[in-house]
Structure 1
Amino acid sequence: MKKIFFNKLGVITISAVLLLALGGWSANSASVAGTKKAKKPILIEGAMPIEVQNFAKKLQNVKEEKSGKFEFYKGTLDHYPVIVVKTGKGMENAAAATAVAIERYKPIAIINQGTAGGHDPKLHVADIVLGEKTVHLASFKTEIKGEGQGVDTTQWKPMDLMASEGSGSSSDAEKIRYYDADQDLLSAANAVKDQYTNGKVVEGTIGSADIWNNELDRIKYFHENFGTSAEEMEGFSEAQIANEYNIPFLDIRVLSNNKTNDGAYNPNTAGPCQDYVYNVVKKYISTKK
């Protein structure tokens, strides 16, 4: 005859009997059968349609969503959730879109990708730069000069807006801030670089600002003093937001032009770059299964 157990209040503890019959209570017994914790998606960012549409078409089960003017393409890649967002151009748009995406979708990692202008004469149109570091190219404190004393941008001091909450007058604020790439994302990107056949893939520093630099001396200044390989208009702000939320980040940029060696502008480089990033994501996903 089976025994029936009662607690101190005289209530039959049927669940306890069942658990004992199944071999006892364990931490896993608290989970409900058939339910799995949802996987956090990988977020892919691009500023313009030519920088996101090719990638979005590669996803399965795509669903489009909007928040303001930001467009999100939710889908899967190898049964893993991936979200592509068209941020719009510029630092403010990119930062806002990144924050919205983080709050809305809780990504496990973020890859910003798209086109860029070259700063390194050794790089050519269609070469890809993996942003080992990202840096702000428009955060400066100017010299004190009176009227008629001119402008000398080479004397401007870097201003690290994240150094403190003060006015930025301390020497601590007069430094160049870099955000480092996540090493797992960078490793995945390096692991598949041989699959990219349109140019070479190198690690470097990517600079960002709401400026399109065409002055060769200015480009040379950044290359020599900031170590930049390429420039674009979104990556640093996205890296900053990702860092605030402690989310792994990598900036991947293909050169669409390079003034330093007469590399003519070619927007069609955006497509092959997305193909490469697709392979990067597949590799990264394989490490998360």
Structure 2
Amino acid sequence: MMIGIIGAMAQEVSLLASMINNPQKQIIAGVEFIQGELQGHQVVLLRSGVGKVQAAMATTLLHEHYKPSLIINIGSAGGLISGMEIGDIIISSESGHHDVDLSPIGLEPAVLPDLPKTFPSDPKLIALVEDALTELDINSKIGLIATGDAFIADQKQVAQIKAIFPNVLAVEMEAAAIAQVAHLYQTPFIVMRALSDLPDKEMPMSFVEYLDLAAKNSSQIVLKVLDKLPTEA
């Protein structure tokens, strides 16, 4: 079983990269893939780059070159609900594009032709992550993650996203693109994002300040999830 682990930024994958045994590195179309053993599993870790195009390209390359059995997307996100703190974890029940709008031609906002409005995460992976989180002292919620090619930094933007996805918990720039590709390849996936910024704080500054904490917490959960996955193929 090959497990694909995707982060967008160097800070989001560096901790896990340092822990991979017998790493074999390959660069394809500017994306570095690190294959090796982590917690007794064969994994391939990659930094996709920021944004939906980079994420979709990297996820496609992952499928074509490494044939993953499942995909875990990690990293940071902006929290869109009250009661959450920096470093808390959002687990995707589903992911969707908040910046897609074909309503002038009759489609619902966030819907692309022949595709669902949101891409549901694998239920077995959700249950596994929930189990892992019970052993870590990290607050978490499960729900919808919204994706778009913009850093969301003010309440007007938040309101626009909530008009499309009223139950959204967090926003970021890659998850739905990764989920869409995984959906098309019929690969089980899950998104685990740690909050690096919140709607009631100075968002750009808090993102820079707390990215490392968010990356550390999301990496911790990956390690715990890998511990709980069966090691047989």
- Same fold (TM > 0.5): yes
Residue 184 to residue 142, structure 1, CA distance change in 2 (3 Å) = closer
Decide which of 102, 106, 109 is 1:158's aligned counterpart.
109
- RMSD of the alignment, in Å? 2.1
3-state SS of 2:134 partner: helix
Does 1:208 pair with 2:152? no
SS in 2 for 1:195: coil
- 1:241 corresponds to 2:165: no
| Residue 108 of structure 2 corresponds to residue 137 of structure 1 | no
- CA distance change for structure 1 residues 112 and 276 in 2, over 3 Å: closer, same or farther? same
Q: Which aligned pairs between 1:8-47 and structure 2 lie closer than 5 A?
A: 40-47=1-8
Give yes or no for the alignment of 1:109 onto 2:70.
yes
Residue 158 of structure 1 aligns to a residue whose secondary structure is coil
Task: Show structure 1 runs of 5+ residues with no match.
Answer: 1-39, 145-155, 165-175
Aligned to 2:220: 275
Question: Whose strand fraction is larger, Structure 1's or Structure 2's?
Answer: 2
Does the CA contact (< 8 Å) of 1:120 and 1:223 recur in 2?
no
- Say whether the 8 Å CA contact 1:208–1:235 is kept in structure 2: yes
- Structure 2 distance, partners of 1:202, 1:115, is 14
Q: Would the alpha carbon gap of residues 200 and 136 (structure 1) be closer, same or farther in structure 2, given more than 3 Å must change? A: same
Matches of 1:91 and 1:143, distance apart in 2: 23
Contact 1:118-1:260 within 8 A present in 2 as well: no
- Helix, strand or coil for the counterpart of 2:93? strand
Secondary structure at the aligned position of 2:114 is classed as coil
Write the letter of the residue equivalent to 1:55.
L
- Which structure carries more helix by proportion? 2
In the alignment, the residues of structure 2 paired with residue 200 and residue 77 of structure 1 have an alpha-carbon distance, to the nearest angstrom, of: 25
Structure 2 residue ranges without an equivalent (≥5): none
Which TM-score applies when normalising by structure 1? 0.73
Q: Which structure's relative contact order is higher, taking Cα pairs within 8 Å and 6+ residues apart?
A: 2
Give me the whole-angstrom Cα distance separating, in 1, the residues matched to 2:2 and 2:82.
37
**CA distances 1:110-132 after superposition (whole Å, capped 9, x unpaired):** 01110001111222211100001
**Structure 2 CA distance, aligned partners of 1:205 and 1:97?**
22
Distance 1:254 1:78, change over 3 A: closer
